[in-house]
Chains A and B, each alone.
Chain A
Amino acid sequence: MTSDTDLVAYLSGVMKQIREWLAAKVLQRMVVVITRVDTQETLERWQFDIDTDKTVTDDSSPRSKPLKEIQKEIRDVIRQITASVTFLPLLDCPCSFNILIYTDKESEVPESFEESGRCFIANSQEVRLRSSRRQSTGRTRSLCYTVDD
C-alpha cells in the first residue's frame, strides 16, 4: 500500500463514497483511467461493471456465499490484472490516474464530486477479463483495455 498521505486521503474518500453508493444500489460501473499528464490523453481504461441486486432491501436476509469462493474469485481477477502487464504497451511518459464512477442519474452526489467525461480512448483494443459474483452486490465484470499504438 501507498504511504503518500494525499493519495491515501483520496482513496479513502472515494472508497467511502463508493461504499455508500453500493449500499444505495446506484453504482453501475467503476473505471480506473490512466492518463498522460502533459496531453491529458487517456492511455488505459480499466472498467469494472457492477450489477447491484435491486431486489435486496434492508430487511431481506443476506445472500450467502462461501468466503473461500469469494476470495478465490477476487484472486483470479487480480491475477488476470497482473498478468495483463505482459501484453499491455509500455507507458514511457509521466502518467496519472483517475477513478470514474458511473451511478444512477437520480443518485445524490456530494460536493466533493463532480461530473466528468467518460475518458474515451479513440481507436482502442479491448480485452475482456474474467468476471466474479459477490454476495448481494452482484456481478463484477472486469474489463481492461489499452491504447492501440
Chain B
Amino acid sequence: MSGEDVVHDNTVVIRMMSDLHKYIGNPTQQLKQDDTIEKESPPGNRTGVSNTSCSILDVTEAFAPDMPRSAFEKYQRALTAELVSVEAKVVQLESELAFQRNEKACTIVELEKNYTILKQGKIRDDEKYADLQQKLRYVVEREKATKEQLQQCKKNLDAARGGPNQKFINLQREKHKLEAELNEVKQTTGNIIAEHELELQRKDSEIATCVNQLEEMKAQQRQLLKRQRTTANRQQQEEDLKLKLAVAEHRNRELEEKISRLHEAEFVSKSISSSLSKLSELEAENRRLIDDNNYLRSTTENTLLYKEKADGLETALARANDRFNELLHVEALNEELTSKLKRWEAFAINTAGVLKSPEEYSVSVAEQQQREAVLTQQMGEVKASNHVYKERCANQQQEIDKLKESEQQPKSNIKPEILRKLQKKLVFVMTERDGYKRIIDTYDSEMTINYQSLERQRLAELQSMLDAYKKRVEQLEADAGLTLQVGKQEVAGAAVDSSSVAREVLELKQELEKLTAEKQKLAADKEAWEMRTEQRSMQGDYDPRHTKVVHFERNPAAISTQRRAGELEALRGECEMLRARVLILEAGGSGRGDVLDLTAQVQEKVQGQPSSKQVDEVKNQLQSLELKNKRLIEAFRKTSQEFREVCYMLLGYQIDMPCNSQYRLRSMYAESPDDHLLFQIQHQNKEGLQLLESEYMKTTTVKELMDTYLKQSNSIPAFLSSLTLDLFNKQTTIFA
C-alpha cells in the first residue's frame, strides 16, 4: 500500500485520529502495553519498539489543535512512515513467530522424547526393582529352605549324633558352606538393592527435574501461544486489508476495462454511424444497380432472341438464295427444254405430220431401228450371198481362164457354141455381180453406223440365258418326277423287304452273342492281367514311363560292397606277396639271417614283374592310340587330297613337294610333263619364296614373263597367272 493511497482514504485518517486521541487520553496504559511488549519480545527487538514509541510521542508533541496545514501534512507523512515501520515490525514479528513456533515445536519434541526416555527408564527400573524383589523373595525362601534344611540336618545330626564323627564333620562343613553361601547371597542382594535404591533415587530426581523443565516449557508454550494469537489477529487484519485492496484493485481494473470498452464502443458506434450513412447511399446505388441489372437481363434476352431470329433469317436467306439459284437453273433448263421441244415439234412437223410428241417420235425411232435391224440382217444375207457369188464368179473366172487356155491350146477341141454360152453366162454373172455390188454400196452408204449390233448381242445373250433357265426348269421337273417315282418305289419295296429285315435282326443277334462272348473272354483276360501286374508290382516292377527309381548315392550297401572290394584287393595283393615269398624260399633256401632281405626281395620281385593287368592296360592304350593315329592319318590324307584337287582346279597348278621345303608347280595347260617350276621356301627371311632354275625357265616366253613380273614387280602370283594365261592362249589357238 503506498502512502498516497493512505492519505486519500479518509477513514484511515479518522481512525488514526481516534487512536491518537486515545493515546493522548491514556498514555500510561500505552506505555504499559509497550512495557509488556518489551518484556515479551526478545532482546534484539527492543530498540525498534522503543523507537516507534518515541516517534509516536514526537508526533503527539508536534500535533496541536491549531496545527497548520503543512504540519498536518508532516504528521501524515510521519504516520505513513510509522505505518511502514509497523508493517516492517509485523513482518519481523511474523518471522520471529515462525522461528519461535519452530523452536517450540523442537523443544516440545525434545521434551517429549526425554519424557518417553525417562518413562522407559522408569519402567525398566520398575521392572528391575520387581525382579530384584522377586530375587529377594527367592533368596528369602531359599534362606528359609536352607534354614529348614539346617534344622532338619540338626535334627538328623541330633538323630545321628550317635553316628560317626565324619558324618558330623561333613555335615558341619556343609552347613558352613551353606551359611557362607547364604551370607554371600545376602551381601550381593543387599548390594544390589542398595544400588537399585540409589538408581531409583537418581531417577526420581531426574524425573523431578524433567517435570520442572516440562512445566517451564509449558509456560513458554503458553507465552508463545499468546504471541501467536496476537500475531494471528494482526495477520487477519492484514489479510482483511489485503482483501479490501484486492477488491478495490479489481474494481479499478473493471472500471478501466469498462472505460476502454466504452472507448471502443464509441469508436465502433462512430464507424457504424459513418457506415450507416454510407449504407443508405449504398442501398440507393444497389437499387439502381438492380434496376440496371434487370434491364440488362431483359435486353440480353432480347438480344439473344434477336440473334436467334437473325440466325434463322440468315439460314432462310441462304435457303432462299439456293432456291433462287435453283429457280434460275430450272428456268434456263425450261427455256432449253422449251426450245428443244419447239425444235422437236418443228422436226416432227417437218418429218411426219402425224407425230406430235417425243414419245411418238421415240416409238417411230424404235420402229425405224427395227426396220434398220431387219435391213442390216438383209444386208448381211446379201453380203453372204455376194460373197458366195464372188466365189462362184472367181471359180467361173478360173474356169474361163482354163477354158481360154484350153481354147488356145486345143482350139479344135472346144466347140464355139459352148464358148458362146459360157461367155453369155459370164456376162450374166458379171451383171448380177455388179447389181449386187451396187446394192451393197447403197446399204453401206445407208448404214455407216451400226447401233443395233450391241443390242442384238445383248438380246442374244438374254435369249441364251432364258434357254438355259428353261433347260434347268425342265431338268428340275424331270428330277422331281424321278424322286417321286423313287419314293413310290421305296414305299412299295418296304412291304416287300420285311423278310430281309428279319434276317438282318438274326444276324445282329448272332453278332451280339459273339461280342458278349468276346467281352467275357476279355474280362477274364483283364483280370488275369491285373493279377499279373499286381504280382509284378509286388515284386517291385514299375512303369518306366511314369516312374523312376532313385537311391542315395552313398548308401550302406554301396559302401559295404566298396569296402569289401577294397579288402579283397588287399587280400589278393597279400596272397601274391606270400606266393612270391614261398617261391623265393623254395628257390634260394637261404639261411635264417636273410629274413629281412627276403621281404625286400619279395617286394622287388613283385614290383619288378609287371602284373598282367598292367600289361593288358598298356596294350589296350597302345592299341587305342594306334587306331586313333590311323584314323587321323586317313583323315589328313583325305583332306590334303581334296585340298590339292581344289587348288589344281582353281589355280591351274598341280603343287607337289619333291623334297623338304621345295615345291614343284605344274601348269594345267603345260605342253609337256617336264615343264614345271620349282620354288623353295627360305626360312631365314619370312615369307620368302625363291624360284629355282630349271630347263623350262630357259624358254623365251617364260623368261619374258619373269622379267616383267618377277624382276620388275616381284609378284609371283602375277607371274603364275600370266603364265597360265599364256599357256591357255597357246592351247586354245592350237585347238582352234
A113–B538 Cα distance when bound, in Å, is 24
Our pick among A47, A107, A113 for the contact of B551 (Cβ within 8 Å) is A113
A102–B546 Cα distance when bound, in Å, is 10
Which B residues are CB-close (under 8 A) to A97? 556-557
**Cβ-based interface call for B548 (8 A):** yes
Taking Cβ atoms with an 8 Å cutoff, the residues of B that contact A are 535, 538-542, 545-561, 564
Our pick among B546, B550, B558 for the contact of A100 (Cβ within 8 Å) is B550
A37–B538 Cα distance when bound, in Å, is 24
The 5 closest A-B pairs by CB, nearest first: A98-B557, A96-B560, A96-B557, A116-B551, A98-B555
A118–B550 Cα distance when bound, in Å, is 9
Interface size counted on chain A using CB atoms at 8 A = 44
**A 114-136 contacts with B by CB, 8 A:** 114-121, 124, 126, 128
B538→A145 contact, CB < 8 A: yes
Which A residues are CB-close (under 8 A) to B551? 98-101, 113-114, 116
**Known contacts A37-B561, A115-B548, A126-B539; can you find 9 more A-B pairs with CB under 8 A?**
A14-B552, A37-B557, A40-B561, A101-B549, A116-B551, A121-B539, A124-B539, A126-B535, A128-B538
Which A residues are CB-close (under 8 A) to B558? 98
Which A residues are CB-close (under 8 A) to B542? 28-29, 102, 118
A109–B550 Cα distance when bound, in Å, is 8
If A118-B541, A121-B539 touch, whether A105 touches B548 (CB-CB below 8 Å) is: yes
Our pick among B538, B539, B552, B561 for the contact of A13 (Cβ within 8 Å) is B552
Report 7 cross-chain contacts, Cβ distance below 8 Å, ordered by A residue: A35-B557, A94-B560, A99-B555, A100-B549, A112-B554, A118-B541, A120-B539
Which B residues are CB-close (under 8 A) to A128? 538
Which A residues are CB-close (under 8 A) to B549? 100-102, 115-118
**A 49-104 contacts with B by CB, 8 A:** 94, 96-104
**Cβ-based interface call for A7 (8 A):** yes
Q: Which residue of A lies closest to B564 (CB)?
A: A37
A118–B546 Cα distance when bound, in Å, is 14
A96–B554 Cα distance when bound, in Å, is 13
**Cβ-based interface call for A149 (8 A):** no
A122–B546 Cα distance when bound, in Å, is 24
Chain A min CB distance to B345 (Å): 100
Which B residues are CB-close (under 8 A) to A121? 539-540
If A102-B542, A118-B541 touch, whether A113 touches B552 (CB-CB below 8 Å) is: yes
If A45-B540, A105-B545, A128-B538 touch, whether A96 touches B561 (CB-CB below 8 Å) is: yes
Taking Cβ atoms with an 8 Å cutoff, the residues of A that contact B are 6-7, 10, 13-14, 17, 28-29, 31, 33, 35, 37-38, 40, 45, 47, 94, 96-105, 107, 109, 112-121, 124, 126, 128, 143, 145
Which B residues are CB-close (under 8 A) to A10? 552, 554-556
Which B residues are CB-close (under 8 A) to A29? 542, 547
Chain B min CB distance to A72 (Å): 25
Q: Which residue of B lies closest to A47 (CB)?
A: B540
Which B residues are CB-close (under 8 A) to A112? 552-554
B547→A103 contact, CB < 8 A: yes
A29–B539 Cα distance when bound, in Å, is 12
A108–B725 Cα distance when bound, in Å, is 71
B548→A102 contact, CB < 8 A: yes
A103→B539 contact, CB < 8 A: no
A102–B553 Cα distance when bound, in Å, is 15
Which A residues are CB-close (under 8 A) to B556? 6-7, 10, 96-98
If A33-B557, A102-B547 touch, whether A119 touches B552 (CB-CB below 8 Å) is: no
Which A residues are CB-close (under 8 A) to B555? 10, 98-99
Chain B min CB distance to A26 (Å): 10
Q: Which residue of B lies closest to A34 (CB)?
A: B557
Chain A min CB distance to B554 (Å): 7
Which B residues are CB-close (under 8 A) to A33? 557
Which B residues are CB-close (under 8 A) to A145? 538-539
Q: Which residue of B lies closest to A9 (CB)?
A: B554
A83–B541 Cα distance when bound, in Å, is 26
Which A residues are CB-close (under 8 A) to B557? 33, 35, 37, 96-98
With most chain B CB atoms within 10 A of its CB, the pick from A7, A102, A120 is: A102
With most chain A CB atoms within 10 A of its CB, the pick from B546, B547, B554, B555 is: B555
B560→A37 contact, CB < 8 A: yes
Chain A min CB distance to B226 (Å): 93
